[in-house]
């Protein structure tokens, strides 16, 4: 079993829809939870960062972490065609948010105009 | 542009050969990370350096080695290449291992034929 599980999709939604992306994990030591966005032929870029449990909002994006269920989510409101990309969840434990990041396999999202 | 530079962008080589991938981190970043991204495994952490010293290792094969030089650039050496080594290799950098964000380069696409 992988430490981090993520539905690969693809997920296709109409412009303006609310998108929900999720990951589950098995390692209780994870404390840092991140969402990276990767456009085709580009490197991943950090979208959201959360330490421990709770919610974090940044514009149209909301990240949620439920450590008791070992479940994290990313919500995108009013989705735009420019949001079309692969979304990767990533986690790390002791040692810092960038230390030995464990990534999910990524969910490919397509927002149709 | 993340500020992380990887060369070359593309590399095609034969099985059994050896290649060197190069990474220049963002100005001021002391930590460098190497990741391998393949279709079936997703983004996998290989190795991390901090200010010239190896800091953490992931599932890096013995045929692979890396180093970080005094000017902080890093090289990933892949030897006795196999078809299964074909993948995207990303370098990322951060100020230090405790930073909240790692900045990824554009990657080197390695094709082994």
Residues of A in contact with B10 (CB under 8 A): none
Q: Do A88 and B48 touch (CB under 8 A)?
A: no
pLDDT at B42: 85
Per-residue model confidence as pLDDT tens digits over A36-85: 999 998 999 999 999 888 899 999 999 999 999 999 999 999 999 999 99
From B48, B104, B107, residue closest to A100, measured CB to CB: B48
Query: What's the pLDDT at A5?
Result: 94
CA distances from A1 to A26, A47, A91, A99 (A): 9, 26, 16, 21
CA of residue A93 relative to chain centroid, distance: 16
Q: Is the dihedral of CA A24, A30, A36, A38 positive or negative?
A: negative
Check: CB of residue B29 under 8 Å from CB of residue B72. Answer: yes
Note whether A88 contacts B: Cβ–Cβ < 8 A: yes
Whether B54 has its CB under 8 Å from any CB of chain A: the answer is no
End-to-end CA distance of chain A: 37
């Amino acid at each position: 079993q992988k430490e981090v599980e993520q539905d690969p999709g693809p997920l296709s939604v109409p412009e303006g829809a609310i998108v929900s992306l999720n990951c589950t994990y098995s390692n209780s030591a994870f404390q840092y939870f991140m969402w990276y966005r990767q456009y085709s032929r580009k490197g991943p870029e950090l979208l959201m960062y959360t330490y421990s449990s709770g919610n974090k909002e940044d514009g149209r994006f909301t990240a949620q972490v439920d450590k008791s269920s070992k479940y994290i989510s990313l919500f995108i409101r009013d989705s735009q065609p420019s949001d079309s990309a692969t979304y990767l969840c990533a986690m790390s434990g002791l040692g810092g948010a960038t230390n030995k990041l464990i990534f999910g396999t990524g969910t490919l999202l397509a927002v149709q105009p | 542009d993340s500020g992380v530079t990887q060369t070359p962008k593309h590399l095609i080589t034969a099985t059994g050969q050896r290649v060197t991938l190069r990474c220049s981190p963002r100005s001021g970043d002391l930590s460098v990370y190497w990741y391998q991204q393949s279709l079936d495994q997703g983004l996998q952490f290989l190795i991390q350096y901090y200010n010239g010293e190896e800091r953490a290792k992931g599932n890096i094969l013995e045929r692979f080695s890396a180093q970080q030089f005094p000017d902080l650039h890093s090289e990933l050496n892949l030897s006795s290449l196999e078809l299964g080594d074909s993948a995207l290799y990303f370098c990322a950098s951060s100020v230090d291992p405790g930073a909240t964000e790692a900045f990824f380069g554009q990657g080197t696409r390695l094709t082994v034929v």
